[in-house]
Amino acid sequence: STEAGTFSGVIDIAETRHALLPGAPTRLWSYNAGPLGPLIELNAGDRVAITLNNRLPEETTVHWHGLPVDPRVDGHPRDAIAPGGSFRAGFTLPDNLSGTFWYHPHPHGLTARQVAMSLAGPVIIRHRNDPFAGLPESLLVISDQRFDRDNQVAAHTPADWMDGREGEVVLVNGQYRPRLDVAPNETRRLRVLNACAARYLLLSLPGATLTRVGTDGGALARPETGLSQLLLTPGERTELLVTFPARVGQSLQLVSLPYARGKMMQPEQTAALPLMTVAVADRAPAAAFSLPAQLATIVPLGRPDIRRRVVLSERPMDHRMAGGGMMAMMKNMFLIDGRTYDMNRVDLSGKVGQIEEWEVVNDSHMDHPFHLHGGQFQLIARNGKPQPPSWRDTVNLAPRASLTLRVRFDTPGERLYHCHILEHEDLGMMGTLAVH
């Protein structure tokens, strides 16, 4: 049912061993044994209580990416759960929220490593007015991994810190190039979550077109049809509808096409990377599906009460090498408004209930996916060009690009904003908005 209710659960965060490769088992850090954290399926309006038990040898937090939860239960780095400690995250979902979200660690400086160790899990929130209730659906959580010679999660290299770490082994729901069987002529909803630390996904399904029906924060007002590819940055989610071919035995491949994101130390991807095979199986053909023209109502956030400009940048090369080693240099490399993160500093302040308009500008040489905590914003414009209404929490900024977003916070507290390349976040490309 999609009626609001109460959801309670326990997540144990612990080291586990998995037979992923021939030879020695791989040590991973897991939510409830993993490799992927359990799917948390909720309904709009639910009251949620989740107990988090940290059995890792180091501190961690759990952040509810995209959910409008009270900042005190949102895994702020200051609220680190010590080894052996527990924390109870309680929150109530708004009754108009739906979509695909996720949870992942957020301890300062340790996020990228903990996610590489496999800590991440998906959340689906369903709503009574779901235009696609009843359609077959698949959740595709895409992550990547790199193993060392002993089958263990490889340590970060300096190039990983600089560019963000991409693992060569790309997994869908923890599996390497899995196969999905569909019925002839079936229209299926695909919820895709890019849970990679830094890998951009330029999704394409040659032989079929993609219809985008949802973004981070739920349904689009109107579907976008006929897409041949779709960029999904680290942290971002999308909902797609795909109608598969009618002929039994035909198969398609979901791939990630080459996308150059301005890496500084490593080559860009040059060939299409296969993610998953979809095979039309010998099943009763699906009935034809007709796509509604209107999917949701997105009431635009109106005239802003506050306007801000936020600039993402890199420290110029000649300042970088002065003193200290490679790590010290990199800790001073990725900036927001000219500085690196300090958890005891407030960078911006706002007021409950006010509509804020942010212009976010990328004044660096690489793409950075910009993410804001504490709920969904509306993407208003990209490079000055008005955008169709959508709810977002993570949006890409190419070099020299700008975006305009509007947001309103209904509860006080501190919200983080940062680059969702997790290595950049750890290196301090993050700031604090305090809402009073």
The string of DSSP letters for 316-362 reads -HHHHSSSS-HHHHHTTTEEETTB---TT---EEE-TT-EEEEEEEE
Q: Which is nearer to ligand C2O, 63 or 261 (CB)?
A: 63
Distance CA 287, CA 219 (A): 23
The string of DSSP letters for 355-422 reads EEEEEEEEESSS-EEEEESSS-EEEEEETTEE----EESEEEE-TT-EEEEEEE-SS-EEEEEEESSH
Q: Angle 23-26-30 (CA atoms, 0-180°, nearest 5)? A: 155
Q: Of these partners, Cu ion, ligand C2O, none, which one is at the site of residue 127 (CB under 5 to 8 Å by kind)?
A: none
Q: What is the x/- site pattern for ligand C2O, positions 12-51, by CB under 6 A? A: ----------------------------------------
Q: Which is nearer to ligand C2O, 194 or 402 (CB)?
A: 194
Identify any residues that bridge with 254 across adjacent strands, giving them in sequence order: 276
| Contact residue for ligand C2O among 188, 199, 371, 392 (CB under 6 A) | 371
Block residue for tokens 């991409």: 166
Q: Does 76 bind ligand C2O (CB under 6 A)?
A: no
Least distance from ligand C2O to the Cβ atom of residue 250, Å = 37
Q: Which is nearer to ligand C2O, 188 or 420 (CB)?
A: 420
**For 66, phi and psi rounded to 5 degrees?**
95, -15
DSSP state at residue 262: -
Query: How big is the chain by its Cα radius of gyration, in Å?
Result: 21
Least distance from ligand C2O to the Cβ atom of residue 394, Å = 7
Q: Which of residues 337-356 bind ligand C2O (CB under 6 A)?
A: none
Task: Return the amino acid letter for 336.
Answer: I
Distance CA 310, CA 368 (A): 13
Stretch that binds Cu ion, among 44-52, 63-71, 124-132, 184-192 (CB under 5 A): 63-71
| Contact residue for ligand C2O among 127, 199, 373, 415 (CB under 6 A) | 373
Q: How many CB atoms lie within 10 A of CB 218?
A: 26
| Contact residue for ligand C2O among 104, 165, 189, 406 (CB under 6 A) | 104
Stretch that binds ligand C2O, among 43-51, 122-130, 326-334, 412-420 (CB under 6 A): 412-420
Q: Does 237 bind ligand C2O (CB under 6 A)?
A: no
| Contact residue for Cu ion among 20, 44, 65, 167 (CB under 5 A) | 65
| Contact residue for Cu ion among 419, 430, 433, 435 (CB under 5 A) | 419
Q: Does 415 bind ligand C2O (CB under 6 A)?
A: no
Q: Which of residues 367-386 bind Cu ion (CB under 5 A)?
A: 368, 373
DSSP H or E stretch at residue 161: helix 158-163
DSSP state at residue 244: P
Burial environment of residue 311 by CB neighbours within 10 A (0 to 12, 13 to 18, 19 or more): middle
Contacts of 267 (CB under 8 A, 6+ apart): none
| Contact residue for ligand C2O among 29, 99, 106, 121 (CB under 6 A) | 106
Q: Which is nearer to Cu ion, 360 or 421 (CB)?
A: 421
Q: Does 419 bind ligand C2O (CB under 6 A)?
A: no
Q: Does 368 bind ligand C2O (CB under 6 A)?
A: no
For ligand C2O, the binding residues (CB under 6 A) are 63, 65, 104, 106, 235, 371, 373, 416, 418, 420
Residues that bind Cu ion (CB under 5 A): 65, 368, 373, 419, 421, 424
